[in-house]
Amino acid sequence: MAKKSMIEREKKRERLVAKYAAKREALKEIINDQSKPMEERFRATLKLAELPRNSSPTRLHNRCQLTGRPHAYYRKLKVSRIMLRELGSNGQVPGLVKSSW
């Protein structure tokens, strides 16, 4: 059950990133514009800090869509190595043949 909650948490982060992307970009442009007065740039920095932490794209992690595992993630299939092996053994991944000797 904990694994499903991590998947849901990651989806919530993705929604927040999409929601605040334009606002974050506008604030960062103000902060990086050296022609703006120092006070205005400082106010933009404070406004950026007030946004939710999870609205930052760096907080996103690639996670397995089935288990929520963040490590050994295959981007093309969106699953972890463990689930890829299990699905391959069951014949559920087209074109994948699991060898054993």
The pLDDT tens digits of the residues spanning 47-100 come to: 999 999 999 999 998 999 888 889 999 999 999 999 998 998 888 888 887 777
Burial class of residue 37 in the structure, from the number of CB atoms within 10 Å of its CB (0-12 exposed, 13-18 middle, 19+ buried): exposed
Distance CA 14, CA 19 (A): 9
Q: Are 52 and 20 in contact (CB under 8 A)?
A: yes
Q: How much is the pLDDT for 99? A: 77
Task: Give the DSSP H/E element, type plus range, for residue 79.
Answer: strand 79-80
Give the alpha-carbon dihedral of 26, 28, 30, 35, to 10 degrees. Answer: -140
Over 80: is that where the pLDDT of 3 sits?
no
User: Can you give the pTM of this predicted structure?
Assistant: 0.73
